Amino acid sequence: MKYWQYLVRRLTGGVVSLLGLSIIIFGVSRILPGNPARMALGAMASEKQVRELSREMGLTDPLWQQYVQYMQGLLTGDLGQSLETKREVATDIAQYLPATLELITVAMMFTVVFGIPLGVIAAQNKDGAVDHATRLVAFFSVSVPGFFIGVMFQLIFGYLLEWFPITGRLASEYSVDRETGFLLVDTLAAGQVDAHLNVWLHLLLPALALSMAGMGQVMRITRSSMIDVQDQDYVAAERGFGLPSWLVTYKYTLKNAFVPTLTILGLLYASLLGNAFLIEVVFSWPGLALYGVTAVMNNDFNAVVGVTMTIGVAFVSINFVIDVLLGRVDPRIRLQVEEAT
């Protein structure tokens, strides 16, 4: 199979998934017992008002027409109004998304920076102390609820040791002009070093709490694929030629051991989006997930749909990017797809 054919096939798969998701969400929104018009107006509104708004909102049209309208809205970025904030949902999402992306990106950075080297060290000292320690950490990290790690971090490093702030993104004494919404970038761009450091202080605990679950997985998968690769003849040959150990390990072995890790990293990035929902609640992080949770609690349906579809698009896009990379790094994967279909 040619590379572009593989890409087209993957892309179609992603688009079909998103279409399916939109149908599910639309379906759920129309099956639900509460009338959206009634919810928008509140309990005090009269029957007549509800009926008028229903007609205005297109709730009396046939279902397929409603779906077409809803899809038109989604595609043009018109997600309707939030019942809670009274603003366009798209505006709200644009405001809250950068905070979440910043949190997830830093968490991902921790995952990679700690996870991969520890996995390599564990593989080199197979059955040694570091190996056992990473196994324990990996075990621990998939068994403990992410939100509980967050709460414990708050308790220990926030309340007791007072090293880090407990909630929020930036102390109130600083104010930063919003350019990108990424505070790390905005503070640097404005040359506010103190504020920049303060953003890091706020980021550290939630990002670390968020990265824990994935870190264990990355360590283990790096370890096991490193072990597979370092037993290969060509690695022995490289050592025989007298190449320095670090060069063999980090350049030649790790490169070939990287494919499974890359797959896991993609899945992780996606699962971070899910776990961010919990971590943002714990740390009152003003991101998309907290916005989504608030929307859920308030029955703010347009906002829920907006958040869900945004995350769905992000999720599918990440998976697509990973497929693109994997197809490049390891051509065998393209062949597997061909065989499977």
Partner 1 sequence: MSTETTDAGQSTPESESLLDSVVSQQRRELWARAWKRFVSRPMSVAGLLIILVVVVAALLAPVVAPYPEHAGKYTDFAAALQGPSLDHPLGTDHVGRDVLSRILFGYRLSLMMVGVVLGFGVPVGVVLGLVAGYYGGWTETIIMRLTDTALALPPLVMALAITSALQPTLWNAMLAIAALWWTWHTRLVQSIVASERTEEYVQAAELAGAGPLHVMFREILPNTLSPILVKVTLDAGFVILIGAGLSFIGVGVQPPQPGLGTMVSQGTNYLPDSWWFAVFPGLAIFILVMGFNMLGDGLRDVFDVEVNR
Site of interaction with partner 1 (CB under 8 A): 13, 16-18, 20-21, 24-25, 28-29, 31-33, 139-140, 142-148, 151-152, 154-155, 159-160, 270-271, 273-275, 277-278, 281-282, 292-293, 295-297, 299, 301, 304, 308, 311-312, 315-316, 340
* Closer Cβ to partner 1, 24 or 193, answer by number: 24
Maximal CA-CA distance, the chain: 86
The number of angstroms, rounded, from the C-alpha of 295 to the middle of its chain's C-alpha atoms is: 19
Q: Tell me whether residue 119 or residue 292 sits nearer to partner 1 (CB atom).
A: 292
Residue 18 CB, nearest approach to partner 1 (Å):
7
CB of 91 to partner 1, least distance (A): 21
By beta-carbon proximity to partner 1, the closer residue of 98 and 146 is 146
Bridge partner residues of 88 (DSSP): 81
Nearer to partner 1, 125 or 167 (CB): 167
Nearer to partner 1, 116 or 268 (CB): 268
Tokens of 65: 């027409």
The distance of closest approach from Cβ of residue 302 to partner 1 in the complex, given in angstroms and rounded to an integer, is 12
Q: Which is nearer to partner 1, 183 or 303 (CB)?
A: 303
DSSP of 170-231, one letter per residue? S-TT-----SSS-HHHHHHHTT-HHHHHHHHHHHHHHHHHHHHHHHHHHHHHHHHHHHHHHT
- Round to whole Å and give the CA distance between 244 and 124: 15
CB of 21 to partner 1, least distance (A): 5
For residues 248 and 255, give the distance between their C-alpha atoms in angstroms, rounded to a whole number: 10
User: Min. distance of Cβ 47 from partner 1 in angstroms?
Assistant: 23
Least Cα distance to 326 among 238, 262, 256 occurs for: 262
CB of 36 to partner 1, least distance (A): 11
Which residue, 257 or 304, is less far from partner 1 as judged by CB?
304
Decide: 169 and 199 in contact? Cβ < 8 Å: yes
Q: Exposed e or buried b for every residue in 57-69, given b needs 16+ CB within 10 A?
A: beeeeeeeebbee
Distance in Å, CB of 151 to partner 1, minimum: 6
- E-only strand ranges, the chain: none
